[in-house]
Amino acid sequence: MPLDLDNLIAIDIHTHAEAPCGTHAWEDARELQEGMAKYFKKEFQQPSIPEMAQYYRERKIAVVVFTVDAEHYLGHRRYSNEEIAELANQNSDIMIPFASIDPHKGLLGAREARRLVKDFGVQGFKFHPSVQGFHPDDRMCYPLYEAIQETGKPALFHTGQTGVGSGMRAGFRIKLEYSNPMYLDAVAADFPDMPIIMAHPSFPWQEEALAVCQHKPNVYIDLSGWSPKYFPEILVRYSNSLIKHKVLFGSDFPAITPDRWLKDFETAGFRDEVKPLILKENAIKLLKLRPEA
């Protein structure tokens, strides 16, 4: 069943599926998860994908869902991209599947990307440079980017500081520098036909992110991971003007719920005529959800 775009309130372009079947996370990620729970002072209850679908269906919000492949750098087994896509496709009235491929997988990863789009209907790809341990402009990544560009699907990159590993010894070896959005400037220049989404307010590099987004036509920003009431003023100002057609709603569920995000969004200083663009219309065009988009 296709998305009923006219009846949707919003499209959440950034959510995590770390337990696709409702099972417990892999044991090898337990230490990191416990550290995150301590840092955020909350336990993360990860619903299954069908449970997520029902949660978003009740709210009339379409949802992009993905995992993160960090097998090379963290040694954590990933959840199956195929399984996530199949479950999302079973809930296609509300869900949009993305995939995650560690760029260290080289040509094998490039082949996987093409196959996931062709055979499983994957609509985009998620990268987390700090957790995956790579600079986005490293030539090692280019075979995978070439494959993604061929498919016409977007690549979504974590940018800025991350709560993953925060407060843990050595930050769990996670290096924030990998997620500086300026590395994506070269990627956007070298792959002009691959849409790039910079995820999150990019603390402490917010102005760099805005500069890249404004300068490169194929670069977008999602507003996930923070409550809107904490957004930097310059991010709100640019979103209301120069990049209003390039900004996307994302929650970072389950870390932040769409209920909280949308509540705080109403009073965060965004113009009334810009809100529909951020909440839904920009994502419809980027993801080509309408034939004319």
Q: For residue range 203-222, what is the model confidence (pLDDT) as tens digits?
A: 999 999 999 999 999 999 99
Distance CA 100, CA 67 (A): 6
Q: Is 285 helix (H, G, I), strand (E, B) or coil?
A: helix
Q: How many CA atoms lie within 13 A of 96 on its CB side?
A: 25
Strand partners, 222: 199, 248
Question: So what's the pLDDT on residue 92?
Answer: 97
Distance CA 275, CA 125 (A): 25
Distance CA 268, CA 52 (A): 26
- Give me 207's structure tokens: 């102005």
Dihedrals phi, psi of 123, to nearest 5 degrees: -110, 5
pLDDT-based confidence at residue 293 (cuts at 50, 70, 90): very low
**Whether the Cβ atoms of residue 205 and residue 176 lie closer than 8 Å to each other:** no
Asked if residue 204 has a cis previous peptide bond (ω within 30° of 0), the answer is: yes
Structural domains in the chain, sorted by start: 5-286 (3.20.20.140)
Q: Between vectors from CA 122 to CA 90 and to CA 189, what angle results, nearest 5°?
A: 155
Mean pLDDT confidence for 54-82: 93
Q: Is 79 helix (H, G, I), strand (E, B) or coil?
A: coil
Question: So what's the pLDDT on residue 255?
Answer: 86
Strand partners, 197: 156, 220
Q: State what percent of residues in the chain have pLDDT above 70.
A: 90
**Whether the Cβ atoms of residue 124 and residue 153 lie closer than 8 Å to each other:** yes
Question: So what's the pLDDT on residue 172?
Answer: 74
Question: Residue 198: which of 227, 169, 225, 236 has the closest Cα?
Answer: 225
